[in-house]
């Protein structure tokens, strides 16, 4: 009877995960009733979120700036108006200086007078960290500002022009060779200047000069304007390249820079805004909803969009609760508007017991992109393999519902009788009627959610980040690039996850377990495909059998872990616990069958079964060393920042090496887990993983006392 039940579940998983099954399920998700879908979609507004972004985009709001605190004050006020309780700004120390630019202008005074930059027009014309200046000096072009390009050039007392990041020119030309300032025309995020000739990159230089040196300044110009300066310097002929109406002789330029900034000594101050919807009964399983305030002026999408959406989600939930349409959540909902990444790490160190109360984090970063501009795709980012959980299953289920109901499908609308172009769309009053261009992707960090996944914090987290983005970290990331419709859709996804988790009980365990199991079956199918490909790529001399086995072995362990995370919603010895035990047993049998399948394929390729695996001396040594995190969260993060080891590991796989440390896995176990994760995504995505790199990184972390050996 049990086997028939499990076989039925497996068949259901296969149907659910097939392309046909996915589309057949397009109009619903098991985590929300039809009425709950309507309740949330009716109330969540992209237009209201947009109005918050309109306010936030006024301020240049890098960490610790006056504009950052003004933006935080706005969020505090708006969060209270949205009905959140216990709203406060949590002040935190800032390791660096507090910096605010008051005014800054750059003029060409010879060969013709022309204003080149003014932060009254856009704050990013001046590199953050610039010091006061009132300088008139000749301009010298220094190429990429490398020591090689500076050979033979006299830049003493001059302003230098570079196509590189201004920080390089500050070090090599100002502090090393006596230049007085920098003008840069590099692009943000390595974009081609041919594609974005009029975009100003957001840049920064060190706010604290080397000992004995005077602070300097750097202006950022768009590539077209910066290259025009270079062209004037490069000609002795008469020219009017800036179209001023006055022809002048080229070959010489004199600039005047006037800068007024306010810099207070380190340590400075920063912080983040917090607000609550208090749960009715459960206070040690908090759902943390995050977005970050810190960015450049404008920064409408990164991350004004997430901040605006969080405020709108707070309003939505509180309105629905007050109207009796939504019961007060059982669990606490905790809203954070942060100084990106820094705020969380600092908070965890200052309050080491707080992470023990976290159930999950759901994060919004760049969730308002007008997808008609460029090749913008909403990336729906799964947790890394070290933190795979029930959260990924909820995320994929609701996200798939959203993708399938907000994109056009020929069979459904042309002959299936469903509305066209989208079967159950979410649009905004002032938004587009575009499709929802979104895809699920393996883990990516570099935003606030990574802090919850890290080491001793160990909290499941998923995130939304738009990419590729032509406008990020530049003067172009402004409200004209925002689509209220995409704001609404992404907020529906985050809101649905938060809503379900806030009220989930043991009665929801069968659904959570089934969806987690089904999603895991799909992941394991990919693991088998990857392992078989590895065997095919191998040879008799190096047949990859050992490594292919690791992909299957670690995949099964990952899925056991994912199923076991559902236990957080169960009581010991309950019926739900028994069901989870049965699914785990079935997952174990699936793992055995996958290995049989791999052995069969090996025999087909090689004409004989695989031989027993043998381990090298290095592998055997790695099996004998078991790392664990140091007891103090503060010591862990402080010392981890001191780890120095150069490797070929992808940055995200380096993070995973630390995330897999649990006091149980050996160095070799961690290597296998990270190797399997990188292989499952592909070397093009995560690079390759070697035992030497993993062992070297872990040894360096032990030496830095971020880890200890068990």
pLDDT-derived band at 470 (thresholds 50, 70, 90) equals very high
Last residue of a domain, one of 215, 241, 261: 261
Percent of the chain with pLDDT over 70: 96
Q: Do 706 and 620 fall within a single domain?
A: yes
In a domain, 557, yes or no: no
pLDDT over 50 at 326, yes or no? yes
Q: Comparing 325 with 14, which gets the higher pLDDT?
A: 325
Q: What is the mean pLDDT of residues 507-526?
A: 96
Residue 557 has pLDDT above 50, yes or no: yes
Q: Are 229 and 116 members of one domain?
A: yes
What's the pLDDT tens digit per position in 12-66? Answer: 443 344 433 444 444 799 999 999 999 999 999 999 999 999 999 999 999 999 9
- Measured on CA atoms in the order 506, 511, 514, 519, is the torsion positive or negative? negative
Query: Regarding beta strands 159-162 and 181-184, do their DSSP bridges make them parallel or antiparallel, or are they unpaired?
Result: parallel
SS3 content of the chain, % helix, strand, coil (to 5): 45, 20, 35
What does the pLDDT look like over 339-352, one tens digit per residue? Answer: 999 999 999 999 99
Tokens of 505: 């009980």
Residue 27: predicted pLDDT: 78
Question: How many angstroms separate the CA atoms of 122 and 277, rounded?
Answer: 37
In contact, 160 and 182? CB cutoff 8 Å: yes
**Residues 68, 124 within the same domain:** no
For 160, residues 6+ apart whose C-beta sits below 8 A from its C-beta are: 139, 140, 141, 142, 145, 169, 173, 174, 179, 181, 182, 183
The answer to whether residues 373 and 420 belong to one domain is yes
Within this chain, do residues 372 and 398 fall inside the same structural domain, yes or no?
A: yes
Average pLDDT over residues 306-323: 98
* pLDDT for res 540: 58
- Give the position of tokens 């800054």: 104
- CA–centroid distance for 563 within its chain: 25
pLDDT tens digits along 591-616: 999 999 999 999 999 999 998 889 99
Reply yes or no on whether the pLDDT at 6 is more than 70.
no
Q: Are strands 159-162 and 133-141 parallel, antiparallel or unpaired?
A: parallel
What would the pLDDT profile of 379-412 be if each residue is shown by its tens digit? 999 999 999 999 999 999 999 999 999 999 999 8
Q: Identify the pLDDT of residue 571.
A: 87
pLDDT of residue 553: 97
Rounded to 10 degrees, what is the CA torsion of 42, 17, 365, 409?
A: -60
Residue 585 belongs to a domain: no
Does the pLDDT of residue 266 top 50, yes or no?
yes
pLDDT tens digits for range 137-154: 999 999 999 999 999 999
Q: Quick one: average pLDDT of 287-295?
A: 98
Q: How confident is the model at residue 574 (pLDDT cuts 50, 70, 90)?
A: confident
Question: Is 402 contained in some domain?
Answer: yes
Cβ atoms 483, 371 nearer than 8 A: yes
**Nearest-angstrom CA–CA distance, 426 and 621:** 56
User: Residues 251, 322: one domain?
Assistant: no
Residue 395 confidence (pLDDT): 98
CA distance 202 to 187: 9
**SS3 (DSSP) at 606:** helix
Chosen domain end from 503, 520, 535: 503
In a domain, 593, yes or no: no
Shared-domain flag, residues 325 and 458: yes
Is pLDDT of 214 > 70? yes
What confidence score (pLDDT) does residue 579 get?
A: 87
Span 677-686, mean pLDDT?
Answer: 97
Distance (Å, whole) CA 690 – CA 417: 54
- The region of weakest confidence among 491-505, 563-577, 687-701 is 563-577
For the stretch 528-552, pLDDT in tens is 999 999 999 876 557 899 999 999 9
pLDDT for 13? 42
For residues 3 and 474, what is the distance between their CA atoms, to the nearest angstrom? 58
Q: What is the mean pLDDT of residues 647-659?
A: 97
Q: What is the CATH number of the domain that holds 232?
A: 3.50.30.30
- The reply to whether 569 falls in a domain is no
359 belongs to a structural domain: yes
- CA geometry: angle at 315 spanning 309 and 320, to 5°? 125
Looking at the fold, whether 44 and 145 belong to one and the same domain comes out as no
Same domain, 157 and 283: no
Report the distance separating Cα 172 and Cα 199, nearest Å.
25
Span of 88-92, 115-119, 412-416 with lowest mean pLDDT: 412-416
- Indicate whether 445 and 371 sit together in one domain: yes
The total number of structural domains in the chain stands at: 3
Positive or negative torsion for Cα 223, 229, 235, 237: positive
The residues, any chain, with a CB within 8 Å of residue 377's CB and separated by 6 or more, are 371, 437, 438, 439, 466, 467, 468
pLDDT of residue 572: 83
The owner of tokens 């002959």 is: 415
Task: Tell me if 165 is assigned to some domain.
Answer: yes
Domain boundary residue among 435, 468, 503? 503
The CA-atom distances, in angstroms, between 88 and each of 79, 183, 328, 384, 659 are 9, 40, 22, 32, 31
Domain that holds residue 202: 101-261
Check whether residue 337 and residue 192 sit in a common domain. no
- What average pLDDT does this structure show over 508-530? 96
**Residue 4 pLDDT:** 35
Of residues 25 and 127, more confidently modeled: 127
For residues 200 and 252, membership in a common domain is answered with yes
Rg, Å, the chain Cα set:
28
Mean pLDDT score, 218-242 = 97
In this prediction, residue 231 has a pLDDT band, given cuts at 50, 70 and 90, of very high
Helix axes 667-681, 651-659, angle to 10 degrees: 140
CATH number at residue 325: 3.40.630.10
Strands 254-264 and 133-141: antiparallel
DSSP state of 370: -
What span, in angstroms and rounded, lies between the C-alpha atoms of 605 and 446? 41
Global confidence as pTM: 0.94
pLDDT tens-place string over residues 84-94:
999 999 999 99
Q: For residue 7, what pLDDT is reported?
A: 38
User: Is 531 a member of any domain?
Assistant: no
Separation CA 161–CA 108 (nearest Å): 13
Residue 638: per-residue pLDDT: 95
The mean pLDDT value of the chain amounts to: 94
């Amino acid at each position: 009877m049990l086997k028939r039940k499990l076989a039925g579940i497996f068949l259901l998983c296969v149907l659910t995960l097939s392309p046909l099954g996915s589309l057949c399920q397009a109009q619903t998700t098991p985590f929300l009733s039809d009425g709950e879908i309507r309740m949330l979609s009716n109330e969540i507004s992209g237009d209201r979120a947009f109005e918050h972004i309109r306010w936030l985009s006024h301020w240049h709001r890098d960490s610790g700036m006056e504009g950052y605190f003004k933006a935080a004050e706005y969020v505090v006020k708006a969060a209270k108006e949205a009905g959140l309780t216990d709203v406060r700004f949590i002040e935190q120390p800032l390791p660096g200086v507090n910096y605010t630019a008051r005014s800054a202008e750059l003029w060409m005074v010879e060969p013709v007078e022309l204003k080149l930059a003014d932060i009254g027009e856009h704050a990013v014309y001046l590199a953050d960290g610039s010091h006061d200046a009132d300088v008139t000096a000749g301009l010298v072009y220094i190429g990429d500002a490398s020591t090689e390009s500076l050979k033979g050039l006299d830049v003493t007392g001059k302003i230098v022009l570079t196509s590189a990041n201004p920080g390089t020119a500050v070090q090599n030309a100002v502090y090393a060779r006596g230049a007085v300032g920098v003008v840069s025309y590099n692009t943000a995020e390595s974009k081609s200047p041919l594609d974005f000739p009029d975009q100003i990159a957001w840049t920064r230089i060190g706010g604290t000069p080397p000992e004995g040196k005077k602070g300097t300044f750097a202006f950022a110009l768009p590539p077209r304007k910066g290259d025009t300066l270079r062209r004037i310097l490069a000609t002795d002929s008469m020219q009017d390249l800036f179209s001023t109406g006055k022809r002048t002789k080229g070959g010489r330029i004199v600039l005047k820079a006037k800068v007024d900034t306010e810099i207070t000594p380190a340590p400075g101050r920063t912080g983040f805004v917090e607000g609550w919807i208090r749960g009715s009964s459960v206070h040690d399983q908090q759902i943390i909803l995050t977005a970050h305030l810190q960015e450049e002026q404008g920064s409408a999408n990164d991350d004004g969009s997430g901040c605006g959406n969080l405020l709108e989600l707070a309003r939505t939930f509180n309105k629905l609760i007050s109207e009796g349409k939504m019961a007060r959540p059982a669990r606490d909902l905790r809203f954070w508007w942060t100084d990106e990444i820094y705020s969380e790490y600092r908070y965890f160190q200052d309050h080491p017991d707080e992470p023990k109360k976290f159930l999950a984090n759901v994060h919004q970063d760049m969730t308002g992109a007008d997808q008609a501009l460029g090749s913008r795709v909403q990336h729906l980012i799964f947790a890394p393999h070290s933190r795979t959980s029930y959260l990924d299953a909820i995320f994929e289920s609701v996200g798939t519902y959203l993708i399938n109901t907000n994109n056009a499908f020929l069979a459904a609308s042309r002959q299936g009788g469903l509305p066209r172009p989208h079967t159950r769309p979410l649009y905004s009053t002032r938004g587009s009627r575009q499709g929802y261009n979104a895809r699920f992707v393996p883990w990516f960090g570099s935003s606030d959610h990574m802090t919850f996944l890290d080491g001793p914090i160990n909290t499941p987290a998923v995130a939304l980040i738009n990419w590729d983005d032509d406008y990020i970290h530049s003067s172009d990331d402004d409200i004209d690039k925002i689509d209220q419709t995409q704001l609404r859709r992404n907020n529906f996804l985050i809101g649905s996850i938060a809503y379900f988790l806030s009220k989930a009980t043991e009665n929801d365990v069968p659904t959570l377990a089934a969806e987690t199991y089904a999603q895991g079956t799909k992941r394991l199918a990919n693991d088998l495909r990857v392992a078989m490909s590895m065997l095919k790529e191998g040879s008799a001399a190096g047949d990859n059998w050992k490594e292919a086995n690791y992909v299957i072995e670690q995949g099964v362990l990952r899925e056991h872990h994912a199923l076991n995370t559902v236990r957080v919603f169960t009581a010991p010895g309950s019926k739900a616990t028994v069901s989870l035990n049965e699914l785990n047993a079935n997952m174990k049998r699936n793992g055995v069958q996958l290995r049989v399948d791999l052995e069969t394929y090996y025999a087909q390729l090689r004409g004989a079964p695989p031989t027993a695996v043998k381990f090298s001396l290095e592998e055997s040594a790695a099996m004998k060393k078991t790392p664990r995190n140091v007891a103090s969260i503060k010591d862990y993060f402080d010392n981890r920042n001191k780890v120095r080891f150069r490797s070929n590991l992808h940055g995200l796989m380096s993070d995973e090496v630390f995330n897999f440390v649990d006091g149980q896995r050996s160095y070799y176990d961690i290597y296998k887990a990270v190797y399997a994760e990188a292989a499952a995504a592909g070397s093009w995505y995560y690079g390759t993983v070697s035992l030497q790199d993993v062992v070297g990184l872990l040894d360096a972390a032990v030496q830095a006392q971020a880890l200890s050996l068990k």
